[in-house]
Amino acid sequence: MTGIRERLRDPERVRRLTYGVAGLIIAAVVTTVEDGVSVPAGWAWLVLPVGLGATALRPRYRTLVFAVCAGFVAIVSTGESVQLGLAAAGLVFVSVCEDPARHPWLGWVGGLIGAAGALTTALVNERGVYEQPFFFVTAGYLLAILMRSWSRGYALTLETDDLRGQAAWLEQRTNLARELHDVVGHHVTAMVVQAEAGQLSADPGAALRAIAGSGRTALSELDTLVVHLRDPDASIAVSAPPRLSDIDELLAQPLRQQGVTVRVQLDPEPGLDEIGVLTAYRIAQEALTNIARHAKATVAWVELARVGDHARLRISDDGVGPPRAPTSGSGLLGIGERVAARGGSWELSQRPGGGTVVQANLPVANK
């Protein structure tokens, strides 16, 4: 039963099945009609070879042939051969289903012309009102419209699922690129700072040990990201989840080794959940890394405080300030993506008195 259900979900297989049923109905009707036809009964058989030959034509011409056949069968039927209406309905159904036009009309019009001809013939011969062909033609048309709508809906569902998969894949790649830049870039910056400080230090060995530690951490984080590349379904979990206190204990260290004074003030209850804490940590990480690389600052400040329904994170320095025409590099782009994902806002601005200010407003967690 499961296999049958799966097969019935495929529009192409359902289409072939319905075509087969329609073909059997048409063949059974036209080969069993004996009298009551407005032309010799054998003429109705012509729709069988003509219909089979039409299968070799292009869809547009195939649609036209089936429409003509539907009109022919409808127009030769009479009240005594009303069963020919089933054949007309089947031919209209196939014609409309095969029509490549967005709004199919050939099969519908062909069947209606045949039904109108049958009605006219009945009235001229004083046989009364013969309206049954209209019902058969209409039924065939409506069934074909339902089939086309279902097929298109199924195709749209598959396309939607495919687009969702692509969007998820792109989101994973974006997250991976952001983590790669933030995590590995920060450690590499720390290694450069430690190497430069070690050249002037009285204990170069300590600097080398610090560089080795940063290198091992960077390699560990890189291995985790590579695992995610090989298995996109695996979650990105870079080492242990950071804490807000790590901003002071870990992120500020490269700057302090450069001789920069870093003052960190963190609200013990900023109202952030685990993802919010990670977002604040990564923003601070990127901002402090940029200060170490470009700011030429002597003092840097990190402030995190709860302000109403959001947590305000501000990282500032007394360095050279932002460039006059700032570019959205990977770091700034990552900050924007993280803040947008949390539904917050951020800005990069000039600090009064000189320097740069990066401020992000993150919504607090609902409790």
User: Over the stretch 283-333, which tens digit does the pLDDT of each residue have?
Assistant: 998 899 888 888 889 999 999 999 989 999 999 999 998 877 655 556 788
Q: What is the pLDDT of residue 117?
A: 94
DSSP 250: I
Residue of higher predicted confidence among 193 and 327: 193
Q: How big is the CA angle at 320 (ends 294 and 282), to the nearest 5 degrees?
A: 45
H or E segment at 317?
strand 310-317
Partners of 261 in the β-ladder: 299
Cα 275 from Cα 242, distance rounded (Å): 10
> Which of 137, 142, 37 has its CA nearest to residue 82?
37
Cα 359 from Cα 367, distance rounded (Å): 25
Cα 62 from Cα 51, distance rounded (Å): 8
Q: With b meaning 16 or more CB within 10 Å and e meaning fewer, what string describes 297-322?
A: beebbbebeeeeebbbbbbbbbbebb
Mean pLDDT of the chain: 85
- The residue written with tokens 């993280």 in the block is 338
Q: What is the pLDDT of residue 186?
A: 66
Q: Is the pLDDT of residue 3 over 70?
A: no
Tens of pLDDT, residues 28-64: 999 988 878 888 888 888 899 999 999 899 989 999 9
Phi and psi for 296 in degrees, rounded to 5?
Answer: 55, 45
H or E segment at 265?
strand 261-266
Q: What is the pLDDT of residue 200?
A: 61
Cα 147 from Cα 126, distance rounded (Å): 38
Tens of pLDDT, residues 194-250: 676 666 666 777 778 777 877 877 777 777 767 666 666 655 555 567 789 989 988
Cα 48 from Cα 73, distance rounded (Å): 11
Q: What is the pLDDT of residue 5?
A: 65
Quickly state the pLDDT bin for 193 (edges 50, 70, 90): low
Residue of higher predicted confidence among 351 and 198: 351
Percent of all residues in the chain with a pLDDT value above 90, rounded to a whole number? 42
Residue of higher predicted confidence among 220 and 105: 105
Q: What is the pLDDT of residue 118?
A: 93
Q: Is the pLDDT of residue 154 over 80?
A: yes
Phi and psi for 304 in degrees, rounded to 5?
Answer: -130, 120
Using a cut of 0.85, tell me whether the model's pTM lies above it. Answer: no
Mean pLDDT of 91-120: 93
